[in-house]
A and B are shown apart, each in its own frame.
Chain A
């Protein structure tokens, strides 16, 4: 019999998000790091880039924590208090909520703008 967990705070959405935070950059090698798919979270209107880390992490304003694009069919949750953590170059081909942005600002000289700006070198290349 599995023991029932006593502390729900250690096994909840925050934990999932924290794991998301620390394991987001799973890309290995140069090629995986350099690829920005045509349909990527970083090009989507619903992506909000974290003002804390410019490795390109951010969160989604529509798809909520607990969603999973790696399963088939993808698990997409739309209810919850916290947006799903994603990366600018995360493949969003399976996301039915992808909405291409009109303006993608890649000017790294201006300051944080979670909704519009993607200052990563790879985005600069992908948009040029």
Chain B
């Protein structure tokens, strides 16, 4: 029975937005949304029914074994080619966009060439083995034994400094795999958009020119050219394979249309799919459907090369002209048709599922990767880049309500009010996105830290959750980040324990002295500074070596074909000598604990002398057991970040400026600076049992703070303006790369026009204070509690975790409780 307008109104009034979505979206979107598998881990485990794809690694390994004598990039290209040409494919009913990572809709994939420890983890994993289990175990054991000791990470471990390797892989001080095997890369869409056949032709010309040179006068300059030829050949091989992959979909669509489909409308759609796949990615797109299909093939195909855990992208910018042409100028499709295409674009992206090692799953609960799409912003010349497609993406996001991809909106003063209202509606509907990014601040930041020229900086996309990167010829960043992710709460922990880690039982940081002997706070802070420098240094140098060795140990033929600079120079995209400018940063997880802990030490130990350092250290070693009154004193009677209190805010700024100064001393492989970027994803939960008790009052086991500069949950007691004022004391250009702020708002308070106006004035204050990021949760406690009690009923409730959104029922209990603990701020 059709839902009436009155019923929809009732759902709106009850703020049950998931029902509003279900009742108002097209039947096609409704079907596709319900048919797609949930591939993000539920907390740390995959959902029942999700299976690891074994055909993919077997096809890959088969060709890899056959081509032992080839240079690595060519060997790899042939292996990927075998997969793209032979892995089973399928077309989902009612679908108009095709292509999937994996041989079946419920599969997740992994890359056996990457890391033995991940391969063994898959073997040991609960619940993802295809049935019969005994057969799968045999297949997995065979794969693991072939690759064991020979993966990219195994090779890297052999050349890393042994002490660095052990500490890095302890899992205590940071996360990440120093290899392209687990990473993400910016895509050079301007180059990719030429059409794969045109890129193949460009490569042909480069090879012919090189062949000619090689037959000419001998010179030492010619020697490197010999290595370029097989690389170019590898790039052509994968581009050809990608064209064939699309052609297989075209054939499948035609076979179904001509032999099996009885519905004439669907038959027509299948034939359109066939024509689309015959056109793209071989040739540049001409219509919205071709443009989205092209884009999707680009994203899918590269995930047969490696784990790409993020999706730096600007889809409204890319598809906007086609949207405008088809919907508004030629009127070849209706706006509803276009919404169906954009909605399916979101759903097909959500479908991409890659096996993540457990620490990644725990840090990115509920999603398969941070598909944060960048929207809005400006053009190269500074004019407003928002278009009708931006608006349409906002509208369709509310209809399909998926948690991945999410949007990061490049806000600037010229954004029109109508679009701001669309953005607010997404937030009000509880999606948790788009996050707001302050475009002028981030353009300036990109120029200050990495020297990107203005016109390039203005094109920035979110590289993963937060960090901007220009997707340009020399701006593109091919490796996860060329730096690292630091578990920064360890800085203050090691300062207190002379560098010793009581969780992993190891002398980890430098011996900066027994904290009991520090006579002043300045001495304490000096030790903190040494621990901070050590932490950044060990992570950066480890990842830098991984980056430098990556072309030799892993290799990226597809990404290389996607990069103009790699095609031009016959180099691997990851090769840091091919002109890349460098856009590295260190993600600073668990950062704010430093400010609150240092403030507590300064106040209660050095200023008030209420406790001795020895007493504090003893209490921390015992996880505050038996010292509850003292612990509460450290929580309640020491200033906390986020209350506009200069005592602690000055410490936060001092920590950031000291770290920023070090960021100007250390260099990435390209010779550029490395700022920090405080944020957490759900690493604050992953590290809860890895970071010892701290002077801010947390115990080992407690969730760490959720944001990069968000106050501790429940510790921001002075309201949203005080939070903004504290955060506004940070220089968002000079002090780091970007700063993540989570805010919870009341859906009741922000109802109606008045709610919009309150929110808009909040955004104005946020901009006035020069901040670069803010994101909002707008779901009330009672809904979240009800969802914990009765998860079946609340499958569609979405929350902003940190840097990404997830369905509330897909995150672990501790993460859920952590979100509920966050203060709901009243505006106005």
User: Is B446 an interface position by the 8 A CB rule?
Assistant: no
B123 contact from A33, A48, A117, Cβ within 8 A = A33
- The residues in B between 147 and 193 inclusive whose CB is less than 8 angstroms from any CB of A are 148-149, 154, 157-158, 160-163, 165-166, 169-172, 175
Q: Which residues of A sit under 8 angstroms from B716, Cβ to Cβ?
A: none
Q: Which residues of chain B come closer than 8 Å to A109, judged between CB atoms?
A: 42-45, 812
Return chain A residues, CB-CB under 8 Å to B116: 22, 25
**B814 and A111 within 8 A (CB):** yes
Measured CB to CB, the nearest residue on chain B to A89 is B124
* Distance between B543 CB and nearest chain A CB, rounded to angstroms: 14
With A17-B162, A52-B175: A34-B814 Cβ-Cβ less than 8 Å: no
Bound-state CA distance A55–B115 (Å) is 11
Segment from B203-211, B300-308, B357-365, B563-571 that makes contact with A? B357-365
CB closest chain-A residue, reference B167? A14
A60 to B149, CA, bound (A): 24
| Binary CB contact string for chain B from 776 to 817 against chain A (1 if under 8 A, 0 otherwise) | 000000000000000000000000000000000000111100
Q: A122 on the interface (CB 8 Å rule)?
A: yes
With an 8 Å Cβ cutoff, the count of chain B residues facing the other chain is 56
| B120 in contact with A25 (CB, 8 Å) | yes
Set A9, A57, A60, A110: member contacting B162, Cβ < 8 A: A9
Tell me if A18 is interfacial: C-beta within 8 Å of chain B. Answer: yes
| Chain A residue with Cβ nearest B160 | A18
Q: How many A-B residue pairs have CB under 8 A?
A: 158
CA–CA, A28 to B689, complex, Å?
32
| B154 contact set on A, CB distance < 8 A | 22
- Identify A51's interface contact among B126, B686, B815, CB under 8 A: B686
Q: CA separation between A120 and B117, bound complex, in Å? A: 13
Q: Is the CB of A51 within 8 A of B123?
A: no
* Interface pair A10/B503, CB less than 8 Å apart: no
CB of B231 to closest CB in A, whole Å: 29
Q: Does B685 contact A (CB under 8 A)?
A: yes
A22 surroundings in chain B (CB, below 8 A): 116, 149, 154, 157-158
Within 8 Å by CB of A110, from B44, B117, B158, lies B44
Kindly state whether residue B690 has any CB partner on chain A within 8 Å. yes
Q: Give the chain A neighbours of B121 by CB distance below 8 A.
A: 53-55
Residues B124 and A112 in contact, CB atoms below 8 Å apart: no
Partner of B813, one of A29, A53, A110: A110
Check A121 against B125 for contact (C-beta < 8 Å).
yes
Note all chain B residues with C-beta closer than 8 A to A110.
Answer: 43-44, 812-814
Q: Which residue of B lies closest to A46 (CB)?
A: B505
- Docked-complex contact B124 and A121, CB < 8 angstroms: yes
Determine whether the beta carbon of B507 is less than 8 Å from that of A111.
no
What is the CA–CA distance of A2 and B504 in the complex, to the nearest angstrom? 36
- Chain B nearest CB, measured from A95 CB (Å): 16
Query: Does chain A have a CB within 8 A of B688?
Result: yes
- Which B residues are CB-close (under 8 A) to A112? 171, 358-359, 362, 686-690
Question: B169 to A53, Cβ gap below 8 A?
Answer: yes
Residues of B within 8 A of A48 (CB): 503-505
Cβ–Cβ < 8 Å partners of B172 in chain A = 51
Q: Given A14-B166, A30-B138, check contact A52 B505 (CB 8 Å).
A: no
Closest to A62 in B: B505
By a CB distance below 8 angstroms, the chain B residues around A53 are: 117-118, 121, 169, 171, 357-359
Interface status of A67 (Cβ within 8 A of chain B)? no
Closest chain-A Cβ to B106's Cβ sits at a distance in Å of 18
Interchain CB contact (< 8 A) of A114 among B120, B125, B166, B690: B690
Q: Taking CB as reference atom, which chain A residue is nearest B124? A: A120
With a CB–CB cut-off of 8 A, which chain A residues contact B357?
Answer: 53-54
B171 touches A14 (CB 8 A): no
Instruction: Decide yes or no: A51 and B690 within 8 Å by CB, A33-B123, A108-B44, A121-B126 being known contacts.
Output: yes
Which A residues touch B166, using CB under 8 A?
14, 17-18, 21, 82
Q: Considering the chains assembled together, what is the distance between the CA atoms of A114 and B691 in angstroms?
A: 11
How does the 8 Å CB contact mask read for B124-141 relative to A, with 1 for contact and 0 for none?
A: 111100000010011001
Q: Do A30 and B137 contact each other (CB < 8 Å), given the known contacts A21-B165, A111-B688, A121-B125?
A: yes
For the complex, is B337 an interface residue (Cβ under 8 Å from A)? no
Contact with A along B352-391 (1 / 0, CB 8 A): 0000011100100100000000000000000000000000
Interface residue? A99 (CB, 8 A): no
Q: Are B171 and A50 in contact (CB under 8 A)?
A: yes
Given contacts A18-B166, A21-B165, A29-B141, contact A51 B507 (CB under 8 A): no
Q: Is the CB of A111 within 8 A of B504?
A: no
Question: Do B158 and A52 touch across chains, with their CB atoms under 8 A apart?
Answer: no
Which of A22, A56, A81, A82 has most chain B Cβ within 10 Å? A22
> Which of chain A's residues have a CB closer than 8 A to the CB of B125?
54, 120-121
Q: Quick one: closest B residue to A20, CB to CB?
A: B166
CB distance from B168 to the nearest CB of A (A): 8
Given A18-B157, A25-B120, A59-B506, also A119-B44 (CB < 8 A): yes
CA gap between A48 and B814 in the complex, in Å: 21
Given contacts A22-B154, A50-B171, contact A111 B124 (CB under 8 A): no
B504 in complex: contacting residue of A113, A114, A117, CB < 8 Å: A114
Contact of A18 among B165, B504, B505 (CB under 8 A): B165
Within 8 A of B (CB), among A77-98: 81-83
CA distance A123 to B172 in the complex (A): 23
> Is residue A124 contacting chain B, with contact meaning CB distance below 8 A?
yes
Shortest C-beta distance, B809 to chain A (Å), equals: 11
- A9 and B686: CB pair below 8 A? no
Would A54 and B165 count as touching, CB distance under 8 A?
no
Decide if B505 touches A55 in the complex (CB within 8 Å). Answer: no
The minimal Cβ–Cβ distance linking A91 to chain B, given in whole angstroms, is: 17
Which of the listed residues B126, B141, B504, B505 has the most CB atoms from chain A within 10 Å of its own CB?
B505
Rounded to whole angstroms, the CA-CA distance of A115 and B689 in the bound complex is 8
CA distance A21 to B170 in the complex (A): 9
CB-defined contacts of B359 to chain A, threshold 8 Å: 51-54, 112
A55–B124 CB distance below 8 A:
yes
**Which residue of A is nearest B145, CB measured?**
A28
B157 partner residues in chain A, CB cutoff 8 A: 18, 21-22
Cα distance A82–B523 in the bound complex, in angstroms = 28
Q: Take A17-B162, A22-B154, A52-B171 as given contacts and tell me if A119 and B503 are in contact as well, using a CB distance cutoff of 8 Å.
A: no
**Residue of A54, A121, A124 ringed by the most chain B CB atoms within 10 A:** A54
Return chain A residues, CB-CB under 8 Å to B701.
113
Inter-subunit contact A81/B506 (CB<8 Å): yes
Q: Is the CB of B45 within 8 A of A55?
A: no
- How long is the Cα–Cα vector from A32 to B736 in the complex, in angstroms? 49
Report A-chain residues with C-beta under 8 Å of the C-beta of B126.
Answer: 108, 119-121, 124
Closest residue of chain B to A34 (Cβ to Cβ) is B137
Contacts A50-B170, A50-B171 hold; do A111 and B162 have CB atoms under 8 A apart? no
How distant is the Cα of A10 from the Cα of B159 in the complex, in angstroms?
Answer: 11
Closest B residue to A57 by CB, please name it.
B117
Residues of the B chain whose Cβ atoms lie less than 8 Å from the Cβ of A117: 689
User: Nearest Cβ in chain A — how far from B239, in angstroms?
Assistant: 35
Tell me whether A82 and B505 are in contact (CB under 8 A): yes
* B678-715 Cβ-contact flags toward A at 8 Å (1 or 0): 00000001111110000000000100000000000000
Are the CB atoms of B43 and A83 closer together than 8 Å? Answer: no
Contact between B120 and A55, CB atoms less than 8 A apart: yes
Task: Supply 23 A–B pairs (Cβ within 8 Å), ascending by A.
Answer: A9-B162, A14-B161, A14-B162, A22-B154, A30-B138, A33-B123, A51-B172, A51-B686, A54-B124, A54-B359, A55-B123, A55-B124, A56-B120, A59-B170, A59-B505, A82-B507, A108-B126, A109-B44, A111-B362, A112-B688, A119-B45, A119-B126, A119-B358
> 16 new A-B pairs (CB below 8 Å) besides A82-B505, A113-B701?
A12-B162, A18-B165, A30-B141, A48-B505, A50-B171, A51-B687, A51-B690, A53-B171, A54-B357, A59-B506, A61-B505, A109-B42, A109-B45, A112-B358, A116-B689, A117-B689
Residues of B within 8 A of A (CB): 42-45, 116-118, 120-121, 123-127, 134, 137-138, 141, 145, 148-149, 154, 157-158, 160-163, 165-166, 169-172, 175, 357-359, 362, 365, 503-507, 685-690, 701, 812-815
The 6 closest A-B pairs by CB, nearest first: A52-B171, A109-B43, A51-B171, A55-B120, A54-B358, A83-B505
